[in-house]
Structure 1
Amino acid sequence: MTSILKTAVLAGGFVLSAAAAQAASETLKTVQERGALNCPGHTGSYLGFAEVDDKGNWKGLDVDLCRAVATAIFGDPSSLKIIPLSWAQRWPSLQSGDVDIIIKASGGTLSRDTELGLQFSSSYYLGTTKVMAHKELGLESLADADGGTICIPAGASQERQVASYAERLGITLETVAIEKTEELEDAYFSGRCDLYAQWGPVLAIARSISDNPDDHVLLPDVLAVEPEVMIVRQGDDEWLDIANWTLSVLLFAEQEGITSENVDEMKANPPSNEVGKMLGATPGMGTPLGLSDDWAYNVIKKVGNYSEIFQRSLGQDSPYKMPRDLTALWNAGGVLFPFVID
C-alpha cells in the first residue's frame, strides 16, 4: 500500500509539473501573439538603468535587458514596448498582465516571493544602499546624523532599509519620501534634506553630474546589499527559464570573448561545442525554451554581450564612467557567472 501511495504521489507530482509548465508557457504565447514584449520603464529617468530622451527613446542597463529578452523571442530588439511605471505600480502591473516581466532595478525579497507571489531570476547586478550627505555638515557616518532629514525614494525598499538601519544605530531621522527620481534629487541638492539614501550606483551618478560634486560625500555606511533580479509571476517557470537563459547567454558570451562584432565569425567557426550550440551552429538551444535555435545569436548580434551593455549604459562608454566592481564576471573579481551550456 505504501508503495502504491508513493507511486500515486509521484505520478501526481508529474501531472502537476506538466500542468505548471503548460500554464507557464501561456506567458510566452501571450507575448508572441501580441507581437511585442511589455517591459517597465520609469516615471522619469533612472540614470544608467532606464533613461528616456525628449524624443521618447529609451536606453540603460534595464532597458537593454528588456531588449535582449525581446530579441530572444522575436529576433528583433524593437519588438518591445516600454511602459513607464512608478515603483509602487510594478507589482500590480505584473500581476494584471500589463507588463510581462519586471526589469526595473528590483531586488528579490522574502515578502515579494511569499506574499506577492513573485519569483526571481539570477542576479544581473549587485548593488548596495548608501547615503550621500552635504559635505558642509561634517558627517563621518550616519551615526552623526541624529535628528537630520533624509530624502528617500517613495515605494522602494530604501524606505524599509533606512528605518531599520536608523533603529539599529539608535538615531532618529525625518524622512522625505518622493516618488520621481528627478524631484528626489532636486530636493536633496536644493538643501531640503541633509541626506539622500539611494541605491549606490544611482547616488554615484547623481553626485558625478551635480554642479559641485566635491560638495557632497558618500558616507561609509552600507545599509543593505541587494541583488537586482528579473521578476515574473509564480508559476511562470518556462517564462523564467527564458529570462535566466537570456541573462546567462549575455554573461557566457562575455566570458568566451563573443561580441556583437565577432559573433558571425564565432558562429561560422565555433571554438567549442558550447559556443556552437549557443549560437545555433548546432541544434538544441531553442526548442526546449520554445524559441528558435539562433535566438542567442540574435541577442548577441543585435544587443551585445553583458559587457557591451554595461559599458554603454553605466561604464566607460557612458557619461558616468562607473567601474564594474562586484558586477564583473567571476573571473574578473566579480560575482556574476553564466549557467553551463551542455
Structure 2
Amino acid sequence: MTSILKTAVLAGGFVLSAVSAQAASETLKTVQERGALNCPGHTGSYLGFAEVDDKGNWKGLDVDLCRAVATAIFGDPSALKIIPLSWAQRWPSLQSGDVDIIIKASGGTLSRDTELGLQFSNSYYLGTTKVMAHKELGLTSLADADGGTICIPAGASQERQVASYAERLGITLETVAIEKTEELEDAYFSGRCDLYAQWGPVLAIARSVSENPDEHVLLDDVLAVEPEVMIVRQGDDEWLDIANWTLSVLLFAEQEGVTSENVDEMKANPPSNEVAKMLGATPGMGTPLGLPDDWAYNVIKKVGNYSEIFERSLGQDSPYKMPRELTALWNQGGVLFPFVID
C-alpha cells in the first residue's frame, strides 16, 4: 500500500512538473513581453502562401498560420509583425531571435534538425517538387532535357533535389539559381531557362497566372515529396507544443464542422466534450500551454478553421482555385489529421 501511495505521489508530482514546464516556455515569455509575434514573410510575394500588396498588407496560407499562432497567444491576429526574409535568412533569423517561428513553406530535414538545431511541428501542407517546361520543347519527362538549363530558387531545398534527381537520371542540367521568386519566374518565362523546378503548388500558380498558360507544361516527374512544417529552435518544447496545438485546433475544428461563423453557437451548445474543451466551454485547454482557456475559440472566431484558411489563400475563394488533394483531412482523401483533445 505504501509502495502504491509513493508511486501515486511520484506520478502526481510528475504531472504537476509537466504542467509547470509546459507553462514556462521562454519563447512564449519573450513574445508576450514584446506584445507581438515575429513571423517571416518573403522578399516579394510567394503567391498563395505569403503575398504583400503595395500598401504592405500580407495574406496567404503561411501568413494566416502566423496569425493563428498570434491569436492563440494574444487573442488578436493583428498582434503580429511580418519580417520579410530571403530563403537563406530563415535560419540565422530564427537562431538569433529576430523571428520566433518559421512558417515559410519550409520542410523538416535531417541537417536542419541535427546541424542547425531546429525542430519541427506536424505537417501543415504536403507538396511535391516538380518541373515546368516550355511546351515548344516537346519534353515529356526530365530525362529528355539533358543539357538544358533549369531555373531553381537559390538557398532552397530544390537545389539539392534537382541535383539528386538529375544524377539518378544520368543527365546534366545547367542550373540558374535566383533568390527572389518574381525574378526567378521572369527568368523562366522570358526564355532564359528551358525548365523551372519549384514546389508544385507554386509552379501551378505561376503557370495559371502567366500570360500564356497553354505554352507551358508540368512534367510528370516528381523530384521529391516534402511535408511543410512550422520550425522552432530546439530546447523550447513548450513553444513547439503551442505551434502544434494551434495547427491541431485548425484541423480539429474543420473535422468537427466548427467554423468562424458558427463557433459561438458551437461554444454555447457543444456537440461533444472535445468541442466543449476546445472552445473553452469547459476548462483545461489553456493552462497546460500557458494560454487562456478560450485561446482556441479566439483562433477559430478570428482566423477560421484550416479549410477556411486554405480556401481563401489557395482554394476556391482565391484566384488560384487549387484543389486540396493530399492536403485534405484524413477522412476526405488527404493526409492531414488533428491530435486528440481529451
TM-score by length of 2: 0.95
Q: Residue 98 and residue 17 in structure 1: after superposition, are their counterparts in 2 closer, same or farther (change >3 A)?
A: farther
Superposed displacement of residue 24, structure 1? 6.4
Q: Is the 8 A contact 1:268 1:281 kept in 2?
A: yes
Question: Partner of 2:177: helix, strand, or coil?
Answer: strand
Question: Partner of 2:293: helix, strand, or coil?
Answer: coil
Q: Is the 8 A contact 2:24 2:290 kept in 1?
A: no
Moved beyond 3 Å, runs of 4+: 1-24
Q: Is the 8 A contact 2:158 2:198 kept in 1?
A: yes
1:4-25 Cα offsets, whole Å, 9 max, x none, are: 9999999999899979948961
Q: Residue 287 and residue 175 in structure 1: after superposition, are their counterparts in 2 closer, same or farther (change >3 A)?
A: same
Question: Partner of 2:124: helix, strand, or coil?
Answer: strand
Question: Partner of 1:120: helix, strand, or coil?
Answer: strand
Question: Partner of 2:107: helix, strand, or coil?
Answer: coil
Superposed displacement of residue 2, structure 1? 22
Question: Partner of 1:248: helix, strand, or coil?
Answer: helix
Question: Partner of 1:172: helix, strand, or coil?
Answer: coil
Q: 1:190: which partner in 2?
A: 190
Q: Is the 8 A contact 1:151 1:176 kept in 2?
A: yes
Question: Partner of 2:321: helix, strand, or coil?
Answer: coil
Q: Residue 168 and residue 337 in structure 1: after superposition, are their counterparts in 2 closer, same or farther (change >3 A)?
A: same
Q: Is the 8 A contact 2:22 2:290 kept in 1?
A: no
Q: Is the 8 A contact 1:23 1:235 kept in 2?
A: no
Superposed displacement of residue 236, structure 1? 1.2
Mapped partners of 2:2, 2:110: distance in 1: 36
Mapped partners of 1:23, 1:285: distance in 2: 12
* Aligned-residue RMSD, C-alpha: 3.4
Mapped partners of 2:284, 2:13: distance in 1: 27
1:81-100 Cα offsets, whole Å, 9 max, x none, are: 00000000000000000000
1:262-296 Cα offsets, whole Å, 9 max, x none, are: 00000000000000000000000000000000000
Mapped partners of 1:88, 1:16: distance in 2: 41
Q: Is the 8 A contact 1:24 1:235 kept in 2?
A: no
Q: Residue 13 and residue 83 in structure 1: after superposition, are their counterparts in 2 closer, same or farther (change >3 A)?
A: farther
Q: Is the 8 A contact 1:24 1:236 kept in 2?
A: no
Mapped partners of 1:191, 1:251: distance in 2: 41
Q: Which has the larger displacement, 199-208 or 17-26?
A: 17-26
Q: Residue 23 and residue 152 in structure 1: after superposition, are their counterparts in 2 closer, same or farther (change >3 A)?
A: farther
Mapped partners of 1:332, 1:229: distance in 2: 21
Q: 1:283: which partner in 2?
A: 283
Q: Is the 8 A contact 1:105 1:228 kept in 2?
A: yes
Q: Residue 152 and residue 255 in structure 1: after superposition, are their counterparts in 2 closer, same or farther (change >3 A)?
A: same
Mapped partners of 2:20, 2:91: distance in 1: 21
Q: Is the 8 A contact 1:44 1:182 kept in 2?
A: yes
Mapped partners of 1:8, 1:281: distance in 2: 30
Q: Which has the larger displacement, 163-172 or 9-18?
A: 9-18
Q: Is the 8 A contact 2:22 2:289 kept in 1?
A: no
Superposed displacement of residue 196, structure 1? 0.0
Structure 1: 5+ residue stretches without partners? none
Q: Residue 55 and residue 302 in structure 1: after superposition, are their counterparts in 2 closer, same or farther (change >3 A)?
A: same
Q: Is the 8 A contact 1:94 1:100 kept in 2?
A: yes
Q: Is the 8 A contact 1:24 1:237 kept in 2?
A: no
Q: Is the 8 A contact 2:23 2:290 kept in 1?
A: no
Q: Is the 8 A contact 1:128 1:222 kept in 2?
A: yes
Q: Residue 325 and residue 174 in structure 1: after superposition, are their counterparts in 2 closer, same or farther (change >3 A)?
A: same
Structure 2: 5+ residue stretches without partners? none
Q: Is the 8 A contact 1:21 1:237 kept in 2?
A: no
Q: Residue 164 and residue 23 in structure 1: after superposition, are their counterparts in 2 closer, same or farther (change >3 A)?
A: farther
1:166-212 Cα offsets, whole Å, 9 max, x none, are: 00000000000000000000000000000000000000000000011
TM-score by length of 1: 0.95
Superposed displacement of residue 116, structure 1? 0.3
Q: 1:97: which partner in 2?
A: 97
Question: Partner of 1:315: helix, strand, or coil?
Answer: coil
Mapped partners of 2:24, 2:64: distance in 1: 24
Question: Partner of 2:130: helix, strand, or coil?
Answer: strand
Q: Residue 35 and residue 145 in structure 1: after superposition, are their counterparts in 2 closer, same or farther (change >3 A)?
A: same
